[in-house]
Amino acid sequence: MNYKATFLFLLATFLFLIIQAQPGRWQQRVKYTMNIEMDVNKNTFTGKQRLEYINNSPDKLNKLFYHLYFNAFQPNSSMDVRSRELGKNIINGRPDWDSRVQDRISKLKENEIGYQKIKFIKMNGVDQSFKYHETILEVTLTKPMMPNTKIVLDMEFEAQVPLQVRRSGRDNPGTGVRYSMSQWYPKLCEYDKDGWHPNQYVAREFYGVWGDFDVTINIDKNYKLGGTGVLVNANEIGWGYDRPGTELKPSKKDKRSWHFVGSNIHDFVWAADPDYKHIVRAVPNGPVLHVIYNDKPNDSKDDSAWTKVANTAVKVLPFIEAHFGKYPFPQYSFIHGGDGGMEYPMATLISSASTGTAIHEWMHSWFQMMLGTDESMYAWMDEGFTSYAEDLITAFYQGKPGISFYEEALKKRPDNRDLKDLVDNVLPREHSGGYDSYFRLVQSGLEEPLTTHADHFNSNFAYSTAAYSKGEVFMEQLGYIVGASIRDKILLEYYKQWRFKHPNANDFIKLSEDVSGIQLDWYQIYFVNSTKTIDYGIDSLWEENGVSKIRLKRTGFMPMPIDLRLTFKDGSTQMHYIPLNLMYGEKTSENESEARTVYEPWKWTHPTYVIEFKNKLTELQKAEIDPSKRMADVNRKNNVLELNW
């Protein structure tokens, strides 16, 4: 494999993409060169970092901010106290702390804590003063950085790897992995149109500057590594990086140098263990996939579970790319480590050989590593969209055709009563788990708007359900509003227009409006910016002057367009569609074989709406609001009226 040629080609491609960015949307740019000396006996390392920083903003910068994530892993840190305080709250019968953190940080000894200490920082060769704010380093520049200029920042630092607590660390007994090295280096904070984003490391989430990474890790020669980027000295290392199945090449030196490079990424992760094993899969016309793992936790020689992860990735990639866009990087690594599943550019740490977790973390490569929203402010745009994709991909992988398959079949065989009963009443929706979780959050009374900063939710329960489940519901429900096929076009256009450009919620809504031709600001106002809920019901029906009528009622505070399906005794059906006046448009029919009547828009100020149909009232067997069950109606009991005349 010609890694160098591949890397140079992708670098040129990414630079072209940046040049083609949205008008007026500037981005900062970084280039990290780091050399790390690891001491596996003391669990410490020293580092030299050269950072080239390009200020593409129109602003003069008087200071810089860095993340020092390891400083969170010390007793009485913000992460420690926040976790213990949330643990005092009992929600659904359990403490509301992250079960992986709990009160463990408070119990760390001196040789178990994490820290990052800066020896010096120089800007263009001149020493700069700096100040610690726990997990944030503030650097006051001796000379302001002017717009459209570049500076070179040289730094030396030392760090201690914490005993595994959250995402990063050493010696996790659950995995047996020696080092899970995420958030391990001083990382420049993002500066964008809203200014600096020096978010303390309290629990979540991440936002970074796109750029290039050149990282050399010098570590005991018996260790084996996986990480972000391409291993450019693969011929020197061997161990499957030069050719699948090769052994780690012998070395006369005590330490071995692992040299990784990555282009147009905003973070860098690596992991190391003497007992790692390595599976390689080369996808035709696609990336090289690495699965790196050990089997120490169960002391088993059975590698089938990790082999399944590798084979699953190969199988699902064409489906992913068809629905969400092409994977543009030359490699991806599924690395055994961490404390669950956590995504990084070109790699993920996963604590077990779970195909579901592997799929979820890989999909972050699209919604976080390529689109790169500020997760602190828009966690639902990453976690929620990723969860939406995960469910579709999992159904595909498991060979379950999903509800859409049967709905398409029903279009061709509309008189098949058994098939219709399957669609209406039996088959689970691909995203039913997300809906159920969202409904539980609403019922709990603990819901907060999706606009809440990720670290400032009142409970972990509210954050996780909002980010993962309500974010997933947002995407599936968007298909209800604009039509599923249009929603699918939106997702591909989102990838095409906004990859490598840090889109926000407004950007996604505007793009969705452009693709669908439907106004959607109201959807953002109600479902993202508020906790108002949807509740529609069938109020009454009657016959008047030979015309059958049904009155619908909105009792929830969030307005929506309405699909109302009528089923008659002869088995025929009709779809009665009422757009919302705030949409200034309507979705096209999603079932061409079914008769559809389109009404004048329902004004959001009006609580009731009356529809009419020509059939005799006594011929009606069933009326159902939202038969596809994509609308997040919190009380579906009043959505269906079944009649026994």
How confident is the model over 144-174, as pLDDT tens digits?
A: 999 999 999 999 999 999 999 999 999 999 9
Decide if 490 is inside a domain: yes
Task: Give me the pLDDT at residue 269, please.
Answer: 98
Cβ neighbours of residue 354 closer than 8 Å, sequence gap 6 or more? 341
* Structural domain count, the chain: 2
Q: Say if residue 605 is exposed, middle or buried (CB neighbours under 10 Å; 0-12, 13-18, 19+).
A: exposed
Q: Rounded to whole angstroms, how far apart are CA atoms 208 and 289? A: 24
Report the pLDDT averaged over residues 88-101.
96
| b/e code 614-638 from CB counts within 10 Å (16+ = b) | eeebebbbbbbbbbbbbbbbeebeb
Same domain, 399 and 497: yes
Q: Are residues 508 and 396 in the same domain?
A: yes
426 and 547, same domain (yes or no): no
453-477 mean pLDDT: 98
The letter for the amino acid at 418 is D
pLDDT at 18: 45
Amino acid (one-letter) located at 180 = S
CA–CA distance from 112 to each of 105, 135, 165, 184, 517 (Å)? 9, 17, 10, 15, 56
Task: Tell me how crowded residue 50 is: count the other CB atoms within 10 A of its CB.
Answer: 15
Q: Is 241 part of any domain?
A: no
Confidence category of residue 12, pLDDT binned at 50, 70, 90: very low
- β-pairing, 573-578 vs 595-598, is parallel
Residues 358 and 363: their CA atoms lie apart, in Å, by: 9
Flag whether 410 is in a domain. Answer: yes
Q: How far apart are the first and last CA of the chain?
A: 73
Q: Are residues 401 and 509 located together in one domain of the fold? A: yes
Q: Is residue 561 in some structural domain?
A: yes
Residue 518 included in any domain: yes
What range does the domain containing 405 cover?
390-528
Q: Which of 506, 528, 550 is the last residue of a domain?
A: 528
Query: 477 Cβ partners below 8 Å, 6+ apart?
Result: 527, 630, 631, 632
User: In which region does residue 240 sit, left (phi positive, over 0), alpha (psi from -120 to 50) or beta (all else)?
Assistant: left
Same domain? 496 vs 565: no
What would the mean pLDDT of 52-75 be, rounded to a whole number?
A: 98
Q: State whether 471 and 562 are in the same domain.
A: no
pLDDT of residue 412: 72
Q: Is residue 459 part of a domain?
A: yes
Burial (CB count <10 Å: 0-12, 13-18, 19+), residue 233: middle
Q: For residue 425, what pLDDT is reported?
A: 58
Q: Is residue 598, in this structure, part of any structural domain at all?
A: yes
Cα gap 566→643, rounded to integer Å: 11
Same domain, 481 and 561: no
630 assigned to some structural domain: yes
Residue 426, pLDDT above cutoff 60: no
Under 8 Å CB-to-CB from 594, ≥6 apart: which residues?
411, 414, 573, 574, 575
Crossing angle of helices 385-397 and 471-482, in 10° steps, is 80
44-55 sheet: strands from edge to edge: 126-127, 115-123, 149-160, 44-55, 29-39, 211-220, 255-265, 230-231
Q: Is the same domain home to 409 and 509?
A: yes
Which residue, of 528, 544, 576, is where some domain finishes? 528
Among candidate residues 467, 494, 528, the one where a domain is terminated = 528
Token pair of 366, please?
Answer: 């699209």
Q: Which amino acid is at 93?
A: G
Q: Do 395 and 502 fall into the same domain?
A: yes
Q: Give 557-603 pLDDT, tens digit per residue.
A: 999 999 999 999 999 999 999 999 999 999 999 998 899 999 999 99
Kindly state whether residues 595 and 634 are assigned to the same domain: yes
Beta strand extents in 70-148 (DSSP E only)? 90-91, 94-95, 115-123, 126-127, 129-133, 136-145
Alpha-carbon distance of 495 to 423, in angstroms, equals 31
Residues 458/82, Cβ–Cβ less than 8 Å: no
How would residue 13 be classed by pLDDT, with cut points 50, 70 and 90?
very low
The C-alpha atoms of residue 77 and residue 74 are separated, in whole angstroms, by: 6
435 and 491 co-located in one domain: yes
Distance CA 285, CA 296 (A): 34
**Does the pLDDT of residue 447 top 50, yes or no?**
yes
Q: Quick one: which of 333, 209, 205 has its CA closest to 271?
A: 333
**One domain for residues 448 and 549:** no
More confident residue, 18 or 259: 259
